[in-house]
Structure 1
Amino acid sequence: MEKNSSSLNYKIALSGVFSALSILLAFTPLGYIQLGGAIQITLMHVPVIIATLLAGLVPGLVTGFVFGTSSLVKALMTGAGSSLFFMNPVVSVLPRLLFPVAVWAIFALFNCIPHFPKVLSGIIAAAFGTFFHTVVVMGAIFLLYGDKFIPMINAAIKKLGLAAETLSGFKAFAAVIATTMITNGFFEVLCAVILTGAVLGTFYAAGSRKSKLSKLEE
């Protein structure tokens, strides 16, 4: 009973910590890294990933909901540019509830492989989860606001020299993902991998030292 209570308290504590961190990143410049004039990397998805990997799916969903709600509130406060898309909860909240499920599933899948390092499992889950997050968010925007979003994408890809023709349908969506990954998407995956690897490495190393100490005390 004590063990279950301790586990529950642990999950509640981590949910609170990472939810608070999500709010902090959403409403301060700490949530973004500016690389040059055109590339802006967001870090707001990282607390969701780490909460999922350290505490499980439910804390990940809680943190994802806070992340999505913060994005919705910020969009309502800003009300301009691409923020208009995020005023719809299907764009701002729903994808942030779906991608921790992907992170959790990939992490669980690789943990089924005997002797596969948990840190590496977490890194793979973080990379895939970040990419999945991008695809789901962009997919929601594309499905709901394609008539407004596609002209913006065509202008962007022509500026980058990725295509000379005007794209539509699946080609336009593929161009959305390609453009995102070429600009900020790759760096968001990289940041998620580095931060997740550092946190998990520290967490498991500390747990290993604690376990060895307990054995010595016995």
Structure 2
Amino acid sequence: MNNTYSNNTKNIALIGVLGGLTIFLGLTPMGFIPIGPTAATIMHIPVIIGAIMGGPVVGGFVGLIFGLSSLFNAIMKPTIVSFAFLNPLVSVLPRIIIGLGTAYIYSFVKAISKKQTKLLIAIIWVGISLYLGYGIFSAIQQAKTASIIINTVLLSIVLLTMFFSLKKLKEASIDIVISAVAGTLINTLLVLSLIYFLYGEQFVSALGKDVSTVGRTILTIGIINGIPEVIIAVILVTAIVNTLRKKYK
């Protein structure tokens, strides 16, 4: 009974603190990193931390707060693509799923061996690296200098982060790294997939792009925004969760 009460109190406190942080990030420029006409976000980071530290209930509640903040921003601080985020299916639902999905992925990773965990994270980073390498190859063929530079910079950052996450972190942190990557990808993939299916042509038209390039344009946004979000999440989530683990050990 005491353990249940203690856990409930801890979870309520986590939701309060992380939810408050999410609202703060949403109301200030600190929550978004402008990249072209869209913005990469770090607002998913409190959701991932909540899911790791408190499980699916905490992660889901913090994700709900993130989603409502995103909806609020679309209403109060609209941009050329905010119309898509006025739909709760785009702004709210994926953010709840971040919390639920990350919590279950974290539990799964904790249950498998360290060798399997390292293999899993290596596959994730290698997959991202190969995709960026293909992007560089395609950009060279098409003589697109800007794309070559962007993809090369992103590939360099990814390779450094892969080395950092596999070699420099303590083995106990690998489960956090995978959860941070997974939670970020859930956010990016779900939001952009829903935009593609619900508002694809309208979204791309608002960006001033040719509507015949809907898939390519949205995929490009996912890469340019998603990779920095993954890298920032790995660094911040690992540092914060390890600090919290020591404090509440």
TM class by smaller structure: 0.7 to 0.9
Partner secondary structure for residue 179 of structure 2? helix
What pairs with 1:1-218 in structure 2 (closer than 5 Å)?
1-34=1-34, 40-114=39-113, 117-151=171-205, 155=209, 166-167=212-213, 172=215, 175-181=217-223, 183-208=224-249
Equivalenced residues, count:
194
Q: CA deviation at 1:40?
A: 4.0
- Matched letter for residue 113 of structure 1: I
Aligned match of 1:216: none
CA distance in 2, matches of 1:114, 1:131: 23
Q: Percent identity?
A: 34
Give unpaired runs (5+ residues) of structure 1: 159-164, 209-218
CA distance in 1, matches of 2:85, 2:31: 17
CA distance in 1, matches of 2:106, 2:7: 19
- Matched letter for residue 176 of structure 1: I
Contact 1:111/1:118 (8 A) holds in 2: no
- Matched letter for residue 17 of structure 2: V
Contact 1:154/1:166 (8 A) holds in 2: no
- Matched letter for residue 65 of structure 1: L
Cα 1:154–1:111 shift into 2, 3 Å: farther
Cα 1:114–1:79 shift into 2, 3 Å: closer
Cα 1:153–1:118 shift into 2, 3 Å: farther
TM-score by length of 2: 0.70
Q: CA deviation at 1:147?
A: 2.7
Contact 2:80/2:207 (8 A) holds in 1: no
TM-score by length of 1: 0.80
Give the number of the structure with larger relative contact order, counting CA–CA contacts within 8 Å between residues 6 or more apart. Answer: 2
Partner secondary structure for residue 33 of structure 2? strand
CA distance in 2, matches of 1:143, 1:184: 19
